[in-house]
């Protein structure tokens, strides 16, 4: 080996030494630390319908969200029967998500899971719920407030949840009792609202009728303000009336009371809100007093929360 | 002199009472029950004047007047602000019968209801 070659080899060795020294790893720990911590499943997962296109999903604040290894929530929404899904990453402090692209009558599967700082999660911690939107009505078929009139009025005391021709709820007089799902009775100083057949009107013989739940323990004046952990199909329904003067929830309410309804064929579910104003459900004066209602109605048969 | 005062007082009383009666007659709120129809159907003598939502909308869009038919008489309907209530009548036209609360006026042989409220009687 001549001197020139030796100098060349030494130069390469020195250069290599410099390069390796300059690129030396300075961190003490490993580059990808793995953690054994995984967020637990969210609790209190519930859903509700704000309008025809918006489903609200809500859950309790996660009790591990102060942990540094808890990174975020991964949310997936998929229309039933579809292979496409929407994935959203939410902050770990989030307690609500509004899905605003819903199509009425479509079932949506919602899942949520917390991820750790390795973007990993336990499949056993995925919480899921199904929901669908419904049509919301504050106006009747005449594009006017939905007023169900007192027994003394010349106007209708019966409510049809949805009238196909009018494309909205419709209030009918007793002569059209076949269309009555629900109704109001104010005879003998009572104010009762509920299933048509349970109102005590003697000539309601062939009414469409409906079954209702008891009042939910809420005080609201907007249908979309309430979310539910259970499908409406799981509630208890019967033909009955709600005593708006004496029911403890109705007495306590200041804005309005709410309950669920289902048609007798169990295919359509609805949510009814009866407004309370100035301490009274009965509004107006004289013979034409009335209760004002909002209706949330599922036009499409047998969507998930109508399944039975 | 006493006679003149008495007669004058009587005349004034009569005028006042008469004016009060007229004022009451003009402002008396009544309930009118009838059917909302298209004026075209009335003029053409159509047997079935019942409107659907779609037909009522068509009338409204084409400026065909909607009126109320009560005991074979046609009534134009105005809102309390003086405007014609065609839009409101359009919304209720699919009902078989409606009740209008308001006052009745007849001018130059044309019947008119000044409407304060309307409700379905179906």
What DSSP string describes A183-234?
Answer: EEE-GGG--EEEEGGGS--TT-SS----EE----S---S-GGG--BSS-GGG
CA angle A222, A223, A225 (to 5 degrees): 70
A155 part of contact set with chain B, CB < 8 Å: yes
The chain-wide mean pLDDT, for chain A, equals: 89
Per the structure, the complete domain to which residue B71 belongs is given by 29-120
Does residue A170 belong to the interface with chain B, where contact is any CB pair within 8 Å? yes
What integer pLDDT is reported at residue A10 of this predicted model? Answer: 57
Question: What pLDDT does A23 receive?
Answer: 44
Cα(B25)–Cα(A34) distance, integer angstroms: 90
CA-based nearest residue in chain B for residue A158? B122
Residues A187-199: tens digit of each pLDDT: 999 999 999 999 9
Of A141, A147, A173, the CB nearest to B121: A173
**Average pLDDT of chain B to the nearest whole number:** 86
Please give the average per-residue pLDDT across A157-173, as a whole number: 96
- Chain A residues in contact with B95 (beta carbon < 8 A): 142
Total tally of structural domains belonging to chain B: 1
- Reported as a single tens digit per residue, the pLDDT across B50-69 is 999 999 999 999 999 999 99
Name the residue in chain B with its Cα closest to that of A176. Answer: B122
Whether B94 sits inside 8 A of A171 (CB atoms) is: no
pLDDT at B101 over 70: yes
- For residue B31, the chain A residues in CB contact (below 8 A) are 154
Alpha-carbon gap, residue A113 to A260, rounded angstroms: 30
CA distance B25 to B90: 29
Span A243-258, average pLDDT: 97
Asked, for residue B1, whether it belongs to a domain, the answer is no
User: Does residue B5 lie in a domain region?
Assistant: no
Cα radius of gyration (chain B): 20
Task: Using the predicted structure, report yes or no on whether residue A27 has a pLDDT greater than 50.
Answer: no
Mean pLDDT for A227-253 is: 93
pTM: 0.81
Rounded to a whole number of angstroms, the distance from the CA of A305 to the nearest CA of chain B is: 31
Residue numbers of A between 107 and 146 with CB closer than 8 Å to B: 141-144
With H, G, I as helix, E, B as strand and everything else as coil, classify residue B103. strand
Q: Taking CB atoms and an 8 Å cutoff, what residues of chain B touch A176?
A: 122
Say whether pLDDT at B11 is over 70. no
- Judged by average pLDDT, the poorest of A37-51, A138-152, A219-233, A266-280 is A219-233
Tens digits of residue pLDDT in A78-128? 999 899 999 999 999 999 999 999 998 899 999 999 999 999 999 999 999
B24 domain residue, yes or no? no
User: Taking residues A280-294, what's their average pLDDT?
Assistant: 96
Strand B110-120 versus strand B73-79 pairing type: parallel
Q: Which residues of chain B neighbour A170 with C-beta distances below 8 Å?
A: 120, 122
Residue B7 lies in a domain: no
* Cα–Cα distance list, A234 to A82, A104, A108, A308, B107 (Å): 26, 21, 18, 8, 62
Across the interface, do B119 and A155 touch by the CB < 8 Å criterion?
A: yes
CB-CB under 8 Å, B91 with A165? no
The pLDDT score that the predictor gives to residue A225 is 80
Backbone φ, ψ for residue A44 (5° rounding): 65, 30
Q: What is the mean pLDDT of residues A56-85?
A: 96
Q: What is the pLDDT of residue A61?
A: 97
Confidence band of A7 (pLDDT split at 50, 70, 90): low
**pLDDT: which is higher, A20 or B45:** B45
CATH class of this structure's domain A46-131: mainly beta
**What does residue A56 show for φ and ψ, rounded to 5 degrees?**
-100, 125
Question: pLDDT tier at A26 (50, 70, 90 boundaries)?
Answer: very low
Strands B66-70 and B73-79: what pairing? Answer: antiparallel
Rounded mean pLDDT, B1-26 = 50
Tell me if B34 is assigned to some domain. yes
B119, closest residue in chain A (CA to CA): A155
Q: Which of A166, A200, A205 is nearest to A183 (CA)?
A: A200
Alpha carbons B39 and B41: distance in angstroms, whole number: 5
Contact B99 A155 (CB under 8 A): yes
pLDDT digits (tens, 9 = 90+) for B14-30: 444 444 444 444 568 89
> Which pLDDT does position A229 carry in this prediction?
85
Of A116-125, A207-216, B3-12, least confident by mean pLDDT is B3-12
Listed in order, the ranges of chain A carrying CATH 2.60.40.10 are 46-131
């Amino acid at each position: 080996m001549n001197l020139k070659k030796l100098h060349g080899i030494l130069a390469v060795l020195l250069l290599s030494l410099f390069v390796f020294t300059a690129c030396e790893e300075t961190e003490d720990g490993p580059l990808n630390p793995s953690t054994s911590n995984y967020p637990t499943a969210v609790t209190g997962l519930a859903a509700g319908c704000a309008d025809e296109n918006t489903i609200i999903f809500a859950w309790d604040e996660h009790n591990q969200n102060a942990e540094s290894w808890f990174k975020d929530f991964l949310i997936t929404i998929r229309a039933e029967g579809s292979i496409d899904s929407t994935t959203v990453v939410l902050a770990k402090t989030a307690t609500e998500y509004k899905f605003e692209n819903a199509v009425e009558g479509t079932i949506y599967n919602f899942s949520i899971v917390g991820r750790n700082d390795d973007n990993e999660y336990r499949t056993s911690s995925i919480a899921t719920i199904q929901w669908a939107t419904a049509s919301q009505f504050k106006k009747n078929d005449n594009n006017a407030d939905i007023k169900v009139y007192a027994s003394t009025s010349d106007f209708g005391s019966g409510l049809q949840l949805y009238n196909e021709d009018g494309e909205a709820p419709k209030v009918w007089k007793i002569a059209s009792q076949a269309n009555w799902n629900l109704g109001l009775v104010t005879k003998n100083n009572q104010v009762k609202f509920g299933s048509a057949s349970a109102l005590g009107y003697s000539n309601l013989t062939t009414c469409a009728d409906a079954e209702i739940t008891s009042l939910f323990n809420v005080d609201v004046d907007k249908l979309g303000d309430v979310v539910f952990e259970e499908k409406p199909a799981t509630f208890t329904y019967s033909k009955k009336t709600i005593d708006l003067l004496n029911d403890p929830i109705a007495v306590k309410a200041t804005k309005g009371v709410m309950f669920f309804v289902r048609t007798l064929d169990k295919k359509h579910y609805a949510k009814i809100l009866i407004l309370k104003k100035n301490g009274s459900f009965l509004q107006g004066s004289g013979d034409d007093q009335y209760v004002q209602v909002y209706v949330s109605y599922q036009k499409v048969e047998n969507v998930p929360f109508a399944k039975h | 002199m006493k006679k003149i005062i008495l007669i004058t007082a009587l005349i004034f009383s009569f005028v006042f009472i008469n004016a009060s009666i007229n004022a009451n007659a003009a402002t008396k709120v009544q309930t009118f029950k009838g059917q909302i129809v298209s004026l075209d159907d009335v003029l053409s003598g159509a047997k079935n004047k019942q409107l659907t939502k779609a037909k009522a909308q068509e009338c409204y869009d084409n400026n065909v007047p909607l009126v109320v038919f009560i005991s074979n008489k046609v009534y134009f309907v105005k809102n309390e602000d003086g405007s014609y209530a065609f839009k409101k009548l359009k919304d209720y036209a699919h009902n078989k019968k409606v009740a209008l609360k308001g006052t009745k006026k007849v001018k130059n042989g044309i019947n008119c209801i000044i409407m304060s409220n309307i409700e379905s009687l179906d």
